[in-house]
Amino acid sequence: SKYKAKNCVLVSTSGSTGAPFSVLQNMSKRCRNTGDNLYFSYQSGYEIGQKLIYVKIWPDNYKHNILSRFWWQNIYPKSVFQLSDKEIEVFIKELRLNSSKKSFLGYTSAFTKICQHLDKVEADPVDTNVQSIITMSEGLNDYVRNRMKKYFGVSPISRYSNNENGILAQEDRQGRSKFIINSASYFIEVFDFYKDVPVSPGERGRIIVTDLHNYAMPIIRYDTGDIGVVSLDKNNISYLSSIEGRKLDLIYDTKGGIVPSHVSYKLCKYGDYKQFQLVQYGEKSYKIKLNTDKKVDEATMLEEFKGYLGQNARIDILYVDEIPLLSSGKRREVTNTYHSKL
């Protein structure tokens, strides 16, 4: 109650999977988040003073009301809705002309579009003095990891965060599939899918967060909606060895077993796509949506994916002109419309 009369900040989720959820944060919590941001950014190779290329969804009026703030923070805002081939071409030219140290922070799907454009025009590496690349909000795949390294000279790392809390974990720069937990700011557990009890290390479950610093609106054992695995290192310290996105986006095989979400990237071997998406819309019914100008080897694709989903799986391959972004500016490459109705 003593925080009711204090200055607090209202933050909200993006509402990617439903109505946005708003949280009040006291000012010491806000300062804590700033410190976390600086620390984990530094771990990626970013240092204060570098230009930050920030690729996400931006408000339509940001140029008018906070442009001066971007200037003194040395932020270059780039909207995910401004990534046509022509806009990417102009963007790359601007980067080439600026030799100062810079870092990238943004959605994986946005970096995918940039890399696909560079592939299409058979571009040379972009010599623009990039020091670090952090992806957020969406899983980091091998295509983006390898192509961003090729074009910008730096291997991206993945950050796990949300608006209502802050930075929860970040991929270790020295090794993949090891997310260092922000244990100074949060207590993170992994619970069973159906019971509110922790699972053993190495088991998949729901990621549960307790925020240690938000006193205006305490967040205690908050179900993030995300799925992950906690493991222990040689010193018995916990880390997240897997973060698989939201529970409602999990794909299940025809026997009800969970299929790893990264199975969608098996589609890449069949062609070059502008976009692709794997959808489960029934207990044994699936769709593979492809935004491409060329037909794929459908028989081989279906044979492979029945191996993952079940031989009795009904899989439709659909050629589409566009897979729209969510209202949050993100794009899901795996989604489940069947379980979201249960």
27-246 fold: Rossmann fold (3.40.50)
pLDDT of residue 22: 84
**Type of residue numbered 71:** W
Per this entry, what is the length of the chain? 342
How many Å apart are CA 38 and CA 46, to the nearest integer?
8
Q: Which two tokens stand for residue 75?
A: 């932020």
How many Å apart are CA 140 and CA 246, to the nearest integer?
15
Whether 119 contacts 147, CB under 8 Å: yes
How would you write the pLDDT of the chain (342 residues) with one tens digit per residue? Answer: 788 767 899 887 755 444 567 899 999 999 999 999 999 999 999 999 999 999 987 765 555 455 566 777 888 988 887 888 999 999 999 999 999 999 999 988 789 889 989 999 999 999 999 999 999 977 888 889 999 999 999 999 999 999 899 999 999 988 677 999 999 999 999 999 889 999 999 999 999 999 999 999 999 999 988 889 999 999 999 999 998 766 656 778 898 877 766 677 678 778 777 788 889 999 999 999 998 888 899 999 999 999 989 999 999 999 998 887 665 555 677 888 887 554
pLDDT of residue 65: 53
Query: Comparing C-alpha atoms, which of 165, 139, 117, 137 is closest to residue 12?
Result: 165
Name the class of domain 250-341: alpha beta
pLDDT of residue 18: 47
pLDDT of residue 261: 61
Same fold: 27-246 with 250-341:
no
How many Å apart are CA 37 and CA 313, to the nearest integer?
44
pLDDT of residue 342: 47
Query: Comparing C-alpha atoms, which of 188, 158, 185 is closest to residue 170?
Result: 158
pLDDT of residue 333: 76
Domains of the chain: which residue ranges? 27-246, 250-341
pLDDT of residue 110: 87
**Type of residue numbered 184:** A
Whether 110 contacts 83, CB under 8 Å: yes
